[in-house]
Amino acid sequence: MTNTLFTIGYSNRSIEDLIALLKQHKITALCDVRSAPYSSRNPQFNREIFKQSLKLHNIEYVFLGEELGARPKDLSCYIEGKAIYEKIAATTLFKNGLERVKHGLKKGYTLALMCAEKDPMTCHRTILICRNLRGQDVDIQHIIDDQTTETQADLEKRLIAQLRLYPDMFKDTDPNALIERAYDAQGDRIAYVEKGEREPDEITAEAVEEDLEAVTKGSEA
C-alpha cells in the first residue's frame, strides 16, 4: 500500500495561511524537521507557540529536528564546517527518523514535513529526507500553494533542468544515475555551512529555552 507524505515550507506565510493549507490537504500530524525549531523573523512558528496553534485545529505536532534536521550535532557529519548530506543520511539517528515517519504513515496519519523554505527544491526536506524515502511505497507531494502541489518525480525533472544536467553515455549506465547526480549537486549547494558564529534561530532557541526554564523554576518555587 502506498502512503502519501506531504511537505510544506512556512516561508513568509501567515500562520493562518499555513494551517489553512494543512487543513486543505487533511493533514493530521505535522513533523517539524528544522534543526532549531525557532524563527527570529517569524516567531509565530516557534515550537511552543506553533504547537498550540496546531492543537486548536486538531493537528498533532512532532519535532523531528534532532533526527532529520540539516544541522546535526554529530561533528562527523561535517567536513571543514560544511554539513555533508551523505554522511547525515548514513547515521543511525537519521535512519531512525525516517522509520518514525514511515511508522506514522502506516498508523494512518496524514503527515506533512515542515521546514522554512517555500520552494521544496531549495530545502533539505526534499534533497535529503525525501531523497531517502524514494522507492519505499511513499507518494511524496510538495504543497506549493492552495492551487498547486508538486510530486517528487516532477520536482526531480525540474531539478535536472535547472542544474542543466545531461546523461553521460559513458558514466550513467544506471537509469537513476542522472537524478542521483542532481541530488548530490543540489545538496552541495544548499548544505549548511558553519560561519563561526551562531545562527539567529539558534540564539532565539536559546533565549526561549532560558525563558521556559525560568518559568518552570518559578512555578516550582
Measured CA to CA in angstroms, residue 73 lies from 3, 10, 26, 98, 114 at distances of 31, 24, 33, 18, 20
Which amino acid, 19?
I
Contact, 51 vs 61, CB < 8 A?
Answer: yes
Task: Tell me if 142 is assigned to some domain.
Answer: yes
Burial of 191 by CB count in 10 Å (0-12 exposed, 13-18 middle, 19+ buried)?
A: buried
pLDDT digits (tens, 9 = 90+) for 110-161: 999 999 999 999 999 999 999 999 988 999 999 999 999 999 999 999 999 9
Task: Tell me if 202 is assigned to some domain.
Answer: yes
Of 51-65, 136-150, 174-188, where does mean pLDDT reach its minimum?
174-188
Q: Note the helical H segments in the chain.
A: 15-24, 47-55, 65-68, 85-89, 92-106, 124, 152-163, 177-190, 200-220
Task: Tell me if 221 is assigned to some domain.
Answer: no
Q: Tell me which DSSP letter residue 135 carries.
A: T
d(CA 138, CA 155): 15
Task: Tell me if 68 is assigned to some domain.
Answer: yes
Query: What is the reported pTM?
Result: 0.86
Task: Tell me if 196 is assigned to some domain.
Answer: yes
pLDDT digits (tens, 9 = 90+) for 71-122: 999 999 999 999 999 999 999 999 999 999 999 999 999 999 999 999 999 9
Task: Tell me if 188 is assigned to some domain.
Answer: yes
Task: Tell me if 135 is assigned to some domain.
Answer: yes
Structural domain total, the chain: 1
Q: Which domain holds residue 161?
A: 3-216
